[in-house]
A and B are shown apart, each in its own frame.
Chain A
Amino acid sequence: MSGRSGGAGSALTWSALREVKCAELEQAADGWGRVSNRADAVRDRIEGELLPGLRDTQKGEAPDAAVRGLRRLGTNFQYIYTECGLLRTTLNSLAHEIKTQQRVLQGALDDAAALRFTVQADGSVTYPAAGEGLVDGKPLAGGTASGVPNPGMVPPSGLVAPNPNAGKAQDIADRVAQAVRAAADADWRYTRILRSLKAHEGLGVPVATWTDAAADAAAVRDAARGYLKDAIPHDASPAERKAWWAGLTDEQREEYLAVYPDQIGNLDGIPALVRDAANRDNLQLLMGKLEGRDDADSATKLAALREIDRQLRLVPEVGDPPMYLLGIGDQGNGRAIVSYGNPDTSRNVAAYVPGLNTSLDEEFAEGDLKRARDTAAAAREIDHSSAVITWLGYDAPQSPDGWNSLAVAGTARAEAGGRAFNGFMAGLVASNDHAGPNLTAIGHSYGSRTVGAATQQEGGIPGVTDIVLVGSPGVGVDRAEDLGVGRDHVYVGAAENDVVTKLPASEHAVISGMGRALGPVGSLVDLANGGDADLWFGTDPASEEFGGRRFGADDGPPLIAPGRVTIDAHSQYFDPELDSTSAGSIALIAAGRGHEVKQEQSR
């Protein structure tokens, strides 16, 4: 029928299609769903109760071995959760497609019955005599029409059957044939997917198994597109997405989480706890996917993902802000959004946008995440109800060739990043429990330019009440009040020796000469002149003219120290050890108490 050689459904008839009991498929799907849920609950119990309990109370070799064993068991259950969840959606999706074709078939059969046509076992349709012969006026003889699965593929003969029933019979026969063909096709596709959803032998869950699970998820996603994905409201507002999620049944939520953790985990407006759960699964699948590759880019991202995974598995000590994975992805230079403290329940939420040279690598996973973690810990000393986020939701410019790249990057990355950041902040406004939360946008380096761009887009940054600019080469506007939060809610940190805060306007810049010979960092030597309020991307935010509130920052090491060139002064604003004044001020602002920050003289 479908003509596909070896297709499992090549012998399918319309009567067989009509008799398929889709409810049984759905019951089987529910069964797999229950197994998946139970595995998830057991994994939670192992990782949330057994492991911490064992680590806190027992020391020595035997408990260490037990911890290793429990870890492996937890991984086993996570794998069971993922694969059983995929099985469930595969079966539901198959039932969905078969039911669709059953409806098409039933429509054709109903039409045939109404017209008193007979549908034969092979799908052809027999019709009675009707109409009037041109010659003798007698009714024209009846006949049989055979269906064509793809009518468009068969060229018309040019001859028109004179019996008026013939056309109707042909249409019915075509619909029957199409339904059978489509159902056979679905059967063939799902058979292949179900066969591939198999685990390796043994109890270990090696790397190859996760790589395989990533491929399984991709295959099921592809097949279930019509069944699940079309309903994910990508084009809706964050508030509408939140409402969509709230309106789903538990079963529907479980299926979305199992099949599209990447979509749900990165969807702005979805509750933080849900995004975190989805992204923790997605992280495993992403690591599996990248482990299957051997290029340098994949290796770099994989190292970052492993470090994030390590941090997520640590049992927090009292006082450590808990970690939520709000976004993760391997597109572009990589994506990662991590919150320290729950951003939905906290009254004060700050999001830090990193800048030049930031990408999903190990340095990011250690250094940039630490900035949010340190700031969150200090903010929670001020107000327990505080959370701080590192937001790598855009491709920041990279500078393999020193600051030349900044000139090349221009503002396009900031504009694109600003749009993504506004989407994320709109999601926070929707998912946060408080009526008027204190939302702070923190931009460092080129990230401050990104925050600047976000403020200039329609409506500004959703919900934001305060803006912090540190190590800024200019933000694209000349006055603090142009950022849309009121000039006394714009805070600026600029270290005396931070050369990025002194990059002259690009038209004055000469990137060449002696400094260039010192390498990427050396090219800064040529650039740094100071003394002028016109920076690379506009007025120096630390200047009197700009009009923000400047807070104190440690000078940092000079650009040219004995025997070396360093831009470390650009990188210590968040560091409670190296610059406690600046870090303490950022924490006060993040805790919604910016007006308690000690103000410093502008430049």
Chain B
Amino acid sequence: MTNISAERRGSFLGVVDRFWRKSGYEMTAVNNSVEFPAIYARTIDGYRLSLRIGGKGQAFFQVDTPCVHKSEVARSTSPATAFLDPGAELIPRPNIHSDFWSASGS
């Protein structure tokens, strides 16, 4: 996973924010926190999206469907894109450097 430096977090969320608005999503909340910024949106048909920055600049993207009847949902079968120790308790923090997204300073 790619490190997103504190300096790049604003622009990262900004890019996504602009795309969501252009797609006609309604922005429901924005948290401008420097360390843990987050944006929340809702689509016309009721899907909810969020993009949040967690600890160590880790990004979390989430999409939720509108109400459906409760049913069994199978676990995702797609393998993780990075190595994941099957016995690990926690998802590892980002560890890949990108010259752009991980850059500090301007």
Contacts and interface: CB of A to CB of B under 8 A. Distances in A.
B60 interface: yes
A319 B90 contact: yes
Contacts of B36: 382, 588, 593, 596
A576 B40 CA distance: 11
Interface in B15-61: 28-33, 35-36, 38, 40, 48, 50, 52, 54-55, 58, 60
B89 interface: yes
Given A584-B38, A596-B31, A598-B29, A382 B54 contact: yes
B85 to A, nearest CB: 7
A578 B62 CA distance: 12
A321 B88 CA distance: 11
Nearest to A596: B33
A383 interface: yes
Max chain A Cβ within 10 angstroms of own Cβ: one of B48, B58, B80:
B48
A384 interface: yes
Nearest to A321: B89
Max chain A Cβ within 10 angstroms of own Cβ: one of B40, B55, B86:
B55
B64 interface: yes
Nearest to A598: B31
B69 interface: no
A19 interface: no
A581 B91 contact: no
Given A382-B55, A383-B55, A318 B91 contact: yes
Interface string A319-345: 101100000000000000000000000
B28 to A, nearest CB: 7
Interface in A325-383: 380-383
A577 interface: yes
B90 A581 contact: no
A460 B40 CA distance: 36
A577 B48 contact: yes
B86 A56 contact: yes
Contact of B48 (A56, A316, A580): A580
B29 to A, nearest CB: 4
B96 interface: no
Nearest to A552: B29
Contacts of A384: 55, 90
Interface residues of A, number: 26
Max chain B Cβ within 10 angstroms of own Cβ: one of A383, A552, A596, A597:
A596
A201 interface: no
Max chain B Cβ within 10 angstroms of own Cβ: one of A316, A576, A577, A597:
A577
B1 interface: no
Interface string A552-579: 1010000000000000000000001110
Contacts of B58: 381
Nearest to B86: A56
A38 B80 CA distance: 38
Nearest to B54: A381
A507 interface: no
B84 interface: yes
A317 interface: yes
A382 B28 CA distance: 21
Nearest to B37: A596
Contact of A581 (B35, B40, B54, B60): B40
A597 B33 CA distance: 7
B28 A593 contact: no
A577 B63 CA distance: 8
A280 B33 CA distance: 41
Contacts of B85: 318
Given A56-B86, A577-B64, A584-B50, A319 B91 contact: yes
Interface string A54-66: 0010000000000
A322 B89 CA distance: 8
A578 B64 CA distance: 8
A453 B86 CA distance: 44
Nearest to B80: A318
B91 A597 contact: no
Interface string A283-322: 0000000000000000000000000000000001111011
Contact of A580 (B50, B75, B90): B50
Nearest to A585: B31
A580 B31 CA distance: 12
B102 to A, nearest CB: 19
Contacts of A56: 86
B78 to A, nearest CB: 13
Contacts of A584: 31, 38, 40, 50, 52
Max chain B Cβ within 10 angstroms of own Cβ: one of A577, A580, A598:
A580
Contacts of B28: 554, 581
A144 to B, nearest CB: 76
B90 A380 contact: yes
B19 to A, nearest CB: 18
Contacts of A588: 36
B81 to A, nearest CB: 13
A591 B33 CA distance: 15
B64 A598 contact: no
B14 to A, nearest CB: 17
A318 B55 contact: no
B29 A316 contact: no
Nearest to B88: A318
A316 to B, nearest CB: 7
B48 A597 contact: no
Contacts of A382: 36, 54-55
B75 to A, nearest CB: 7
A321 B89 CA distance: 7
A367 to B, nearest CB: 12
B62 A576 contact: yes
A-B complex: 4 closest residue pairs judged by Cβ atoms: A381-B54, A577-B64, A598-B31, A596-B33
Interface of B: 28-33, 35-36, 38, 40, 48, 50, 52, 54-55, 58, 60, 62, 64, 75, 80, 84-86, 88-91
Given A318-B89, A584-B38, A596-B35, 17 more contacts: A316-B89, A318-B84, A318-B85, A318-B91, A319-B90, A319-B91, A321-B89, A380-B90, A381-B58, A382-B36, A382-B55, A578-B64, A581-B29, A584-B52, A588-B36, A596-B31, A598-B30
18 contacts: A317-B75, A318-B85, A318-B86, A318-B89, A318-B90, A322-B89, A380-B90, A381-B60, A384-B55, A554-B28, A576-B62, A580-B50, A581-B28, A581-B29, A584-B40, A584-B50, A596-B33, A597-B33
